[in-house]
Structure 1
Amino acid sequence: MLRISALSLVAMLAAFPVAANDFAPVREKTEFLSLVEGRDLRIGLYNLTLNVLPDGQIKGRALGWDITGSWSWKDGYFCREMDWSGMEIGYDCQLVEVEGADKVRFTVDRGNGDSASFKLR
């Protein structure tokens, strides 16, 4: 059961499909940082909390296990690699979009793949 939950979470962290809506692209690192700095990125269903730090680190927890990683901003995309309690989540550059002041969406493969939406708190 735990293995199934772990695999489900890894798939979710890689991103999953979401419905289209009024998200606007974030193209600049400064704009991205103004959205996430000092805030939690949350997906309550998975008890997932991430913090994207200005120094290039990613820290968080999901289903009781730590998430660590690093990120950079390249050519208008959020590029990251992460580790979830020993499970590698590979490098990917993602399109970042924002809806209002409390929702951000990441779409893998530079906006050509699946997406994951997070609440900002």
Structure 2
Amino acid sequence: MPTNNSLNALAAFVVAVSAPFGAFAFEKVTTRNQFVEIVSGKDLKLTGITVNVTPGGQIKGRAYGFGVKGEWKWQNGYFCRSLFWGKKDLGPNCQEVKVHGNKIRFTSDKGTGQYADLTLR
């Protein structure tokens, strides 16, 4: 089972907090249509994590050997999700979304919390 640090980072979106891409200029995603265009048909990946965010509002995948499932909606410029990791309910969180090339950054608590950079593939 992952450590508490892994679980805390998972709450940001799926699992890990990643800093290497912090120096790049990420651009904020401001609309649902823009977000769907970016993620549609792609997996969001980070070591140990593969998640798919569907245009219909579903989140599904795996993280560190456990299933990930949830729902999302776009609300007031934020990606708002409810998420389960295995049997653990990570609850709701609205997140700022930014993109740079094939990297997508989710920052919890409307952009004030932890962030996770995932690769779009």
Tell me how far 1:43 sits from its aligned partner: 0.6
1:22 alignment counterpart:
25
Cα separation, 2, equivalents of 1:118 and 1:53: 16
User: Who is 1:104 aligned against?
Assistant: 104
Q: Which residue of 2 aligns with 1:61?
A: 62
After superposition, the Cα gap between the structure-2 partners of 1:66 and 1:17, relative to the gap in structure 1 and judged at 3 Å, is closer
Q: Deviations over 1:13-37 (max 9, x none)?
A: 1233633431000001011001101
Taking the TM superposition and a 5 Å limit, the aligned residue runs for 1:1-121 are 2=1, 5=2, 7-15=4-12, 16=17, 18=19, 19-44=22-47, 47-100=48-101, 102-121=102-121
Any idea what the Cα deviations from partners look like across 1:22-59, whole Å, max 9, x if unmatched? Answer: 10000010110011011000011xx1011001111100
The answer to whether the Cα contact below 8 Å between 1:56 and 1:71 also exists between their aligned partners in 2 is yes
State how far apart, in whole Å, the 2-side matches of 1:106 and 1:67 are: 16
TM-score, normalised relative to structure 2: 0.88
Query: Are the aligned partners of 1:95 and 1:110 in contact in 2 as well (CA < 8 Å)?
Result: yes
Unaligned 5+ segments in structure 2 are none
**Unaligned runs of at least 5 residues, structure 1:** none
- Map Cα deviations across residues 42-90 of structure 1 (whole Å, 9 max, x no partner): 011xx10110011111001012211110000001100001001101112
The change in CA–CA distance for 1:52 and 1:29 in structure 2 (over 3 A counts) is same
SS at match of 1:41: strand
Aligned-CA RMSD value: 1.4
Of all paired residues, the percent bearing the same amino acid is 42
Count of residue pairs the alignment pairs up: 115
User: Aligned partners of 1:36, 1:91: CA distance in 2, in Å?
Assistant: 20
In structure 2, the CA distance between the partners of 1:20 and 1:14, relative to structure 1 (3 Å rule), is farther
Partners of 1:17 and 1:114 within 8 A in 2: no
